[in-house]
Amino acid sequence: MNYVKLDIKDGIGTVEFFTEQSNSLPGEILKKLADTITEAGNNPDVKVIVLKSGGNRTFCAGASFDELIAIDSPAKGKEFFMGFANVINAMRKAPKFIIGRLQGKAVGGGIGLAASVDYCFATKHTAIKLSELALGIGPFVVGPAIERKMGLSAMSQMGINPDEFYDPKWAHQKGLFGKLYDDVASLDKAVNELANKLAAYNPDAMAELKKVFWEGTDHWDELLAERAETSGRLVLSEFTRNFIQKFKKK
Amino acid sequence: MNYVKLDIKDGIGTVEFFTEQSNSLPGEILKKLADTITEAGNNPDVKVIVLKSGGNRTFCAGASFDELIAIDSPAKGKEFFMGFANVINAMRKAPKFIIGRLQGKAVGGGIGLAASVDYCFATKHTAIKLSELALGIGPFVVGPAIERKMGLSAMSQMGINPDEFYDPKWAHQKGLFGKLYDDVASLDKAVNELANKLAAYNPDAMAELKKVFWEGTDHWDELLAERAETSGRLVLSEFTRNFIQKFKKK
Amino acid sequence: MNYVKLDIKDGIGTVEFFTEQSNSLPGEILKKLADTITEAGNNPDVKVIVLKSGGNRTFCAGASFDELIAIDSPAKGKEFFMGFANVINAMRKAPKFIIGRLQGKAVGGGIGLAASVDYCFATKHTAIKLSELALGIGPFVVGPAIERKMGLSAMSQMGINPDEFYDPKWAHQKGLFGKLYDDVASLDKAVNELANKLAAYNPDAMAELKKVFWEGTDHWDELLAERAETSGRLVLSEFTRNFIQKFKKK
């Protein structure tokens, strides 16, 4: 059963999402995810936010293929991709630090989520793949978030090689991940440790620092909407139709 | 015999340049190179461009010393350096991905070419040196392209150390190269593999992605022209005259 | 006895600062440091500037705790943090390259100094810690300089983990340091070698290249003043008072 939930304890607001398709994201879950992040950002009991997903394997497989294949107009296409834009913008605007907790692979839009947290912990199983171009679209909505964290070169290397899984050490070296852990137990220990520390720091200082981290991104409401429009148009291409049909037959 | 040529096969447009002085670039070859890249960009049979140079050793030794020494006015100086500006701008504006194939060393302007492709493969012999300051000039025209790919720190480290060859692993780590290979055979295999994949992807998606990769560089027509003017003025300094005379006597 | 001094020899202007509290910086020394850098920048006998600190251990421990604790109004807070802003802006505007020579640890504002030189040499003992958030403030004034050299991800990783010393190899990989040395003797040899080379290069070319390295930072006079205001306000928080009192009792 797909879900998004928020647990608040000791000043730490943990946002967890889950879907039965390797945590790939349909529009409904994207909307709940954006809303839940905004809610945690506004709740005075929450001093720091942790973003995680359910299950022991994939952190997030990106966009839901079932929804991509169902898109039949540019307007519906834009609407779907706005789901990712809204999650990224919610993370950007939440006046609190967000810690990412990645137990395993992140693909496509999943990398966009990882890039939009303020500090990301991952395991040594967290390979990443920016698969969009192989589907006939591109990492348009998530591109700015990935470039901001990893730089233009890393973002474009991944974007141009949509079949390749980049290993977690590379993602760490490029700045997507702050720390890598051998297993989920040590990952959770590290996440809790930092979350507890941050929950006790000066909230005013953290709110100001969050603004500094995101300085120069005020135009992302418009930018990501334009990007969603581009993806929403390209997803209607024959190329995309054929790719998804082939994939689903596997 | 110096040349620039374009071969088109299976959607892959291969642009190859060669000069008898270690692939250092005189104005005439720079002009042909810019024009050929633009031509490949406009040709509907070309889906992806590969940029390479002839010979088995140096990818590109930078500016032609014979031409630098012949410059006798600021106007001629600017004109010469505009040659590099025009090649970089041609690569930037071509609505197709450009793959770089570097068999060996890249010096000065040669690093500018490597930095302006969209994905760069190199061998483990591809050391790089940003030699301009040792000549009394500076990496003004190529600076923006190098900074965009490698960051301000790497660009300035090289610029301030014009005698030092930086090794290919460093250049890879800094994002100039996407992959390094042991020898030319494995280099060519990798270039062909990616070029063939890209030739089959959705061209609309690639054209949009190319725009995204180069977002924020619309002012480079003016910026690189200003930079060419700076280099064109500095190249007339006594410092530069003396350096080139000494070099040519070796 | 605290001091800032300038020695000029063979075209190399060496600026050295020292305080008896691990080279932590009170307002008076910050003012002298900014003035001395500006003086070296304007002196035609100086072709290149070296920035170092006295003693064999810590390069710079950041802001003076004695002065932080004495701040009793937002205006005095801003004034104190403007000390760091003025040093960074003096380094930025000096029309000559500045080489950093770091013998040991850099903390808080000390990382800001290291990030504002044009090329930084360090020893393998130069661990760095961006400690501000632990004090209830944040790396607001030094943030832009650190982000410019190390990127947004490295800056934010350090800013969000104020208790953690990051090792010199990491700082090297992220671009803060250009080269690392085993001991102070090899550090000094390398600094002298580069300083002597730069002292002999074309001064016009270096002045133009310095402008290029700092392009896009013209607004830092205003930006760093705003940042100083933020730090000056946060330093009055109870959180900061308690932290410093506890620290001083140790």
pLDDT tens column, A6-51? 999 999 999 999 999 999 999 999 999 999 999 999 999 999 999 9
Contact between C147 and C155 under an 8 Å Cβ cutoff? The reply is yes
| Amino acid, res. A171 | A
Confidence class for position C170, pLDDT limits 50, 70, 90? very high
Confidence class for position C240, pLDDT limits 50, 70, 90? confident
Question: Which candidate in B132, B156, B161 is best for mutational testing of the C interface (most C CBs within 10 A)?
Answer: B156
CB contact under 8 A, C178 and B159: no
- A-facing residues of C in 110-169 (CB < 8 A) are 132-134, 136-140, 143, 151-154, 156-157, 159-161, 163
CB contact under 8 A, C119 and B173: no
CB contact under 8 A, A205 and C133: yes
pLDDT score of B21: 94
pLDDT score of C172: 98
pLDDT score of C241: 84
Confidence class for position A244, pLDDT limits 50, 70, 90? confident
Q: How far apart are CA C231 and CA A204, in angstroms?
A: 11
pLDDT digits (tens, 9 = 90+) for B176-233: 999 999 999 999 999 999 999 999 999 999 999 999 999 999 999 999 999 999 999 9
pLDDT score of B250: 66
**Closest to C47 measured CA to CA, from C178, C201, C193:** C201
* CA torsion through residues B232, B235, B236, B237, sign: positive
Q: How far apart are CA B24 and CA A134, in angstroms?
A: 37
Q: How far apart are CA B37 and CA B41, in angstroms?
A: 6
C143 contacts in A (CB within 8 Å)?
212
Whether the CB of A72 is below 8 Å from some CB of chain C: the reply is no
A202 φψ region: left (φ > 0), alpha (ψ -120 to 50), beta (else): beta
pLDDT digits (tens, 9 = 90+) for C189-225: 999 999 999 999 999 999 999 999 999 999 999 999 9
pLDDT digits (tens, 9 = 90+) for B109-163: 999 999 999 999 999 999 999 999 999 999 999 999 999 999 999 999 999 999 9
Confidence class for position A250, pLDDT limits 50, 70, 90? low
pTM above 0.90, yes or no: yes
C140 contacts in A (CB within 8 Å)?
208-209, 212
**Closest to A40 measured CA to CA, from A28, A52, A25:** A52
Interface confidence (ipTM) of the complex: 0.96
Q: How far apart are CA A97 and CA C175, in angstroms?
A: 25
Lowest mean pLDDT among A178-187, B237-246, C115-124: B237-246
Q: Give partners of C (≥3 CB pairs < 8 A).
A: A, B
Q: How far apart are CA B175 and CA B150, in angstroms?
A: 5
User: Which residue from C minimizes the CA distance to B137?
Assistant: C205
Q: Give partners of B (≥3 CB pairs < 8 A).
A: A, C
List the end-to-end C-alpha distance of chain A, in Å, as a whole number.
24
A115 φψ region: left (φ > 0), alpha (ψ -120 to 50), beta (else): alpha
Distance from CA of C245 to the nearest CA of B (A): 38
pLDDT digits (tens, 9 = 90+) for A162-186: 999 999 999 999 999 999 999 999 9
Percent of chain A with pLDDT over 90: 94
Confidence class for position C245, pLDDT limits 50, 70, 90? confident
Contacts of A235 (CB under 8 A, 6+ apart): A68, A71, A77, A80, A81, A135, A136, A137
Largest Cα span, chain B: 53
Contacts of C99 (CB under 8 A, 6+ apart): C48, C49, C50, C51, C117, C118, C119, C120, C121, C191, C194, C195, C198
Question: Which candidate in C147, C204, C217 is best for mutational testing of the B interface (most B CBs within 10 A)?
Answer: C204
Contact between B113 and B53 under an 8 Å Cβ cutoff? The reply is no
Confidence class for position C250, pLDDT limits 50, 70, 90? low
For residues C156-183, average pLDDT: 98
A160 contacts in B (CB within 8 Å)?
97, 118-119, 194, 198, 209
A139 contacts in B (CB within 8 Å)?
209
**Closest to A48 measured CA to CA, from A102, A16, A92, A12:** A12
For residues A54-67, average pLDDT: 95
Tokens describing residue A63: 């966009």
Kind of pairing between the strands at A128-129 and C119-123? unpaired
Tell me the pLDDT of chain B averaged across its residues: 96
Compare CB distances from C208 to B157, B163, B230 and report the shortest one's residue.
B230
A148 contacts in C (CB within 8 Å)?
152
Q: How far apart are CA A53 and CA A19, in angstroms?
A: 9
Which residues lie across from A90 on neighbouring strands?
none
B231 φψ region: left (φ > 0), alpha (ψ -120 to 50), beta (else): alpha
Tell me the pLDDT of chain C averaged across its residues: 96
For residues B56-62, average pLDDT: 96
Q: How far apart are CA C209 and CA C141, in angstroms?
A: 25
pLDDT digits (tens, 9 = 90+) for A113-162: 999 999 999 999 999 999 999 999 999 999 999 999 999 999 999 999 99
Confidence class for position C127, pLDDT limits 50, 70, 90? very high
Distance from CA of A131 to the nearest CA of B (A): 12
Compare CB distances from A234 to B150, B197, B205 and report the shortest one's residue.
B205
Contact between B129 and B108 under an 8 Å Cβ cutoff? The reply is yes
Confidence class for position C247, pLDDT limits 50, 70, 90? confident
Compare CB distances from C118 to B140, B160, B237 and report the shortest one's residue.
B160
Alpha helices, H only, chain B = 27-42, 65-70, 74-93, 109-116, 143-160, 168-173, 184-200, 203-213, 220-234, 238-249
Compare CB distances from C205 to B143, B154, B234 and report the shortest one's residue.
B234
Distance from CA of C134 to the nearest CA of A (A): 7
B138 contacts in C (CB within 8 Å)?
205-206, 208-209, 212
Tell me the pLDDT of chain A averaged across its residues: 96
Position C40 pLDDT exceeds 90: yes
